[in-house]
Amino acid sequence: MSEGNSTVASQLRQDLVSGLIVGIVAIPLGMAFAIASGVEPQYGIYTTIIAGILISLFGGSRFQIGGPTGAFVPILLGIVTVYGYPKLLVAGFMAGILLVLMGIFKLGSLIRFIPRPVTIGFTAGIAVTIFTGQIGGFLGLTGVKRHEHFLPTIRDLAVHLPTLNLYSVVTAGICLSILLFLPRLTKKIPPSIVGLVVATLAATYLYPGKVATIGSAYGSIPAELPRLQWPDLSFGSMEQMIGPAVVIALLGAIESLLSAVVADGMAGTRHDSNRELVGQGIANLVVPLFGGIPATGAIARTATNIRSGAATRMSGVIHGLVVLAVLLVLAPLASQIPLSAMAPILMIVAWNMSERKELLHGLKARTGDSIVLAATFLLTVFTDLTTAVEIGLGVSVVLFLKQMRDTLTVTASLPEQTGPDRKFRRLSAGDDRHCPHVQILTVEGPIFFGTADALEEQFRKSEGETSAYLLLRMNRMTVLDTTGAAKLAALIRKSQAAGRKVILAGLRLQPETILLRTGHASVVPPEDRFPDTAHALHAIFRRSEEPPACSTCSLALFAECPCRSEASMVNPAASVAAATAERKLPLAGLGR
């Protein structure tokens, strides 16, 4: 009993330390992300507290830290710019409902099907948008409006460049220097907190009143949580915000599950993706009731939590409570923080999330994925995330279908003339051997809606053949869907109409099941379907004493060929070998 109590106490100490560290790290980020999203800084703090606690309690990852993140900044800024802050609360609440439903219906695993180039592309694009959005604050420019897109931001910066404030540049430079160099000296002290404190002290005592602060721009931060208040959930309001809500939900799901995967890799754990979505949904349902902005799993803070020694999910709860305590005690001091000191923090966040190495490697690869990567990145920067992801996924699907189409082959095959197993090989270029009694085609690859037309093109190569039998080796056909089944059945009927007997060998369970369910299995009767090529050939050559086509053939391509039997009369050793091979041939279960 004492050992159990000791273990619990030890875990609690670990969670207290990690929760304290992550809470301190989260405070400046929460305010910075809120400001960058076009809302007042305290709403970032509220989100950090409420979402941080709820995601830790109800999420599917033991070490996940939730809160406002950089990935949401362009999306939320666009919503606030177009619809206003009250409608952002509606969109966030609806996104929470969608996330809960996604988790209940076990859609967590579907997020994994988003191609990596799409994820890298929009993440790098978001980083560019965040970085450029902070240039005005870094330089202390006045009159600069917040824009949803990259080009208007750059134009506005150029127009207002003459308003540059050197005091703001100095303040931002102080914070940036600490952010860059303090981690090289120690990993135990959060550089963002030190940067804000030193930059604030410099601006307050060395050149007071020369730079804009949180207080001068937004007023003082109240040292309390706001009262519970329902957003406008009228039908018209919800109908208007369904599009933004879907974007928030999808991006939140992707970010939270990516963060959970990172946590699994660092801690050796395994998260529950569906529970994680439910936890994220609950947090985003509650946060808007207190004026907070949408939240998701934060990869950097989650990693910090694990590196700080977190033992249980209580570390995330403690992190939220730490932020709450700081809000209640130190909120008045936060109003003195210069806005230019917040800009370098988000610039570093953007730099760290930019996936720059993977972006460059992906572009240098010059593959189809490079096209997806470049398209998603450029569209995220110059249009919006929704368009970028939609087109990125669309291009990925087209390229995938093309790759699958190229993998489908229908090739003429014959058995090797040497070797004990006599494996079947495709005929090489220039090899014009063919059996006048049976033609063998090996079908290899998937047959589905994306490759059905390629199947027909491949079959055209065999047109003009006059053999009595067409043997289709199907053991390498991996997948069949209803479109593929219809196309395959049509091609078989075409061969049958030309007077050829079609035989199937080695049909796998999945394709056979689809043929049965779609009613196309009857195109080849059961007596013409065999478990493998050996059984099929044995049956074909035993169906007639002496096939007419064999009387003029001396190639002896198969062990069952009548001409091979004639040759064995001259060569007794060949006769013994053929007889031995026939005795080894299993005859049971010739038909299906």
Give 336-394 pLDDT, tens digit per residue. 999 999 999 999 999 998 889 999 999 999 899 999 999 999 999 998 888 998 999 99
Residue 63: partners with Cβ closer than 8 Å, 6 or more residues away? 263, 266, 267, 269, 302, 305, 306, 310, 313, 315, 316
Confidence class for position 310, pLDDT limits 50, 70, 90: very high
Q: For residues 373 and 527, what is the distance between their CA atoms, to the nearest angstrom? A: 51
The secondary structure of the chain in percent helix, strand, coil, rounded to multiples of 5, reads: 65, 10, 25
Query: How sure is the predictor about 287, in pLDDT bands with cuts at 50, 70 and 90?
Result: very high
pLDDT band at residue 570, thresholds of 50, 70 and 90?
very low
Task: Please give the Cα distance from 430 to 68 (Å, whole number).
Answer: 65
**The residue count for the chain:** 592
Which of the four pLDDT bands, split at 50, 70 and 90, describes residue 546? Answer: low
**Residue 545 CB: number of other CB atoms within 10 A?**
7
Q: Which pLDDT band holds residue 415 (cuts at 50, 70, 90)?
A: confident
* Boundaries of every domain in the chain: 2-44+54-396, 409-584
Sort 160 into a burial class: Cβ within 10 Å, 0-12 / 13-18 / 19+: middle
Task: Please tell me what DSSP assigns to residue 304.
Answer: H
pLDDT over 70 for what percent of the chain? 89
* Structure confidence by residue, pLDDT tens digits, 502-521: 999 999 999 999 999 999 99
- What pLDDT, on a 0 to 100 scale, did the predictor assign at position 553? 73
> Residue 462 pLDDT more than 80?
no
Percent of the chain with pLDDT over 90: 65
Residue 384 CA to residue 343 CA, distance in Å, equals 22
| Three-class SS state of 174 | helix
> Do 477 and 442 contact (CB within 8 A), yes or no?
no
**What pLDDT, on a 0 to 100 scale, did the predictor assign at position 163?**
95
Both structure tokens of 58: 């109800």
Q: How far is it, in rounded angstroms, from Cα 433 to Cα 452? A: 28
Alpha-carbon 126 to chain mean position: 16
Q: What is d(CA 172, CA 264) in angstroms, rounded to the nearest whole number?
A: 36
User: What pLDDT does 578 receive?
Assistant: 41
Rounded Cα–Cα distance for residues 250 and 261 (Å): 17
Half-sphere exposure of 468 (CA within 13 A, CB side): 11
Q: Radius of gyration over alpha carbons of the chain, in Å? A: 34
Q: Yes or no: say if 219 and 41 are a contact pair by the CB < 8 Å rule.
A: no
- Whether 575 has a pLDDT exceeding 90, the answer reads no
> What is the tens place of the pLDDT at every residue in 430-441?
666 778 888 889
pLDDT of residue 577: 44
- Kindly state which CATH superfamily the domain 409-584 is placed in: STAS domain (3.30.750.24)
Please list, in sequence order, all residues whose beta carbon lies within 8 angstroms of the beta carbon of residue 5, skipping any fewer than 6 positions away.
none
- Helix and strand numbers (H, E) in the chain are 25, 8
Give dist(CA 145, CA 140) in Å, integer. Answer: 13
Is the pLDDT score of 162 beyond 50?
yes
Chain centroid, CA 560 distance in Å: 52
Q: Name the pTM for this structure.
A: 0.80
pLDDT, residue 7, reads 83
Average pLDDT over residues 202-217: 94
- Write down the mean pLDDT value for the chain: 87
Closest C-alpha among 397, 3, 39 to residue 221: 39
Residues with Cβ within 8 Å of 133's Cβ and at least 6 positions away in sequence, in order, are 36, 73, 77, 146, 147, 153, 346
